[in-house]
Amino acid sequence: MSEGKIIIISAPSGCGKSTIINALLERGNVRMQFSVSATNRAPRTGEKHGVNYYFLTDEEFRKAIDEDAFVEYEEVYPGRFYGTLKSEVERRCAAGENVVLDIDVKGGMRVKQMFSDKAKSIFIKPPTVEALRTRLEGRGTDSPEAIDERVRKAEYELSFAPEYDCVVVNDDLQQAIDNTEREILEFTC
């Protein structure tokens, strides 16, 4: 059996990564499983442990680092860590399953370097930074301070787009879902 592939999806927070990934998982045209990351940030309303993230305490996250449990991890925002767990990726790839990662730009670059041709990196771009702010406000899950922090960081994250294998603009959502699906199917089929 051939090994599964890694699909890396990055975008500034609020660009629509989760919306696009969930739509593709629901459609089921692409064969892939979501890699649930670990984080020490608090769950948002509606988020579930083991589904959206493994929500760890600072101490549990440090312990996982010490135990070498991560493929990669990053301090994406000051004091807030996110990491891709080996247990989510390695077993599934070995079993021939494709795995999709929702991951920040630094982690995305690192995973692409590690897995090379076994991984495809896709960057989701907002039509404008202002549209991004509007979406974050509309999502209603972050404080005004957290929204400011995410928008500030977006400019930096957008500078990584040229490093990715392909870029999908999320203006019209259905079109962005279709384009992302096409990029993944090209790679996995």
Interface contacts to ligand ADP, rule CB under 6 A:
11, 13-19, 135, 138-139, 170, 173, 176
Comparison of 84 and 179: residue with beta carbon closer to ligand 5GP: 84
For ligand ADP, give the closer residue by CB, 93 or 108: 108
CB of 78 to ligand 5GP, least distance (A): 13
Instruction: Using the minimum distance from each CB to ligand 5GP, give the nearer residue, 1 or 24.
Output: 24
| Cβ-based neighbours of 156, under 8 Å, separated by 6 or more | none
Q: Decide: residue 120, CB within 10 A, 0-12 exposed, 13-18 middle, 19+ buried.
A: buried
Residue 99 per-residue DSSP state: E
Query: In the block, which residue shows the tokens 């440090």?
Result: 62
In sequence order, the 6+-apart residues with CB closer than 8 A to the CB of 139 are 14
What is the strand order of the sheet 6-10 is part of?
A: 33-34, 99-102, 6-10, 119-125, 166-169
Classify residue 49 by its DSSP letter: B
Choose among ligand 5GP, ligand ADP, none what residue 82 binds, the Cβ cut-off being 5 to 8 Å by kind: ligand 5GP
- Residue 138 binds which entry of ligand 5GP, ligand ADP, none, CB below 5-8 Å type-dependent: ligand ADP
Show contacts with ligand 5GP in window 86-145 (CB under 6 A). Answer: 102-104, 107
> What are the residues binding ligand 5GP (CB under 6 A)?
13, 37, 41, 72, 74, 76, 82-84, 102-104, 107
